[in-house]
Amino acid sequence: MPVPYATVAQFKEAVDERLLAELGIDAETDGVVDGSNTIIVSALTRASHEIQSFALRGGIYTEGDLDAMQSATNWLLIGVTCDLALGILLARRGGPFGDAIKDRVDKANSMLVDLRDGRRVFPIGTTIEASKPALSIITQQQRGMLGLVADSEFFPRRKYGPA
């Protein structure tokens, strides 16, 4: 599976490059924000692995679905990756988050939980149908084989049809 789900160039579009230059190096000077910056690339990779963990755990997505979204430049996937990577970079510093950044990271984390639980889906054809609730009806023949509590001797017999 090609990881990370966002490139450094896309990360620079989603987050201010000056902030990334400060977070992407451990020296007093600003770092270079490109594909050679191992700190930024590893944050994007770690964020992508977190997305994999949640998406594959829910059983709604496959690795092929995530690969297809990445190659189709799905901005929902890219945005979540960038927000999670920003949180990872800021956590390296150990300082407090600003409210706006904390909201972005919290929203990305809650979206992962919603994706795992099926309350939210990535916009691809297979998951749109999978997110719709299913309806099943128990027939009279099936009901007799289920042994429901409502059918026990404790409850009076039901009358079906007109009395």
User: For 121-155, what is each residue's pLDDT tens digit?
Assistant: 777 665 555 555 666 788 877 877 777 776 666 66
Confidence of residue 163 (pLDDT cuts 50, 70, 90): low
- Residue 147 DSSP class: T
Torsion of CA 94, 96, 98, 104, to 10 degrees: 60
Residues of the chain above pLDDT 90, percent: 19
Phi, psi (deg, nearest 5) at residue 115: -65, -45
- Residue 42 DSSP class: H
C-alpha span between 86 and 27 (Å, rounded): 18
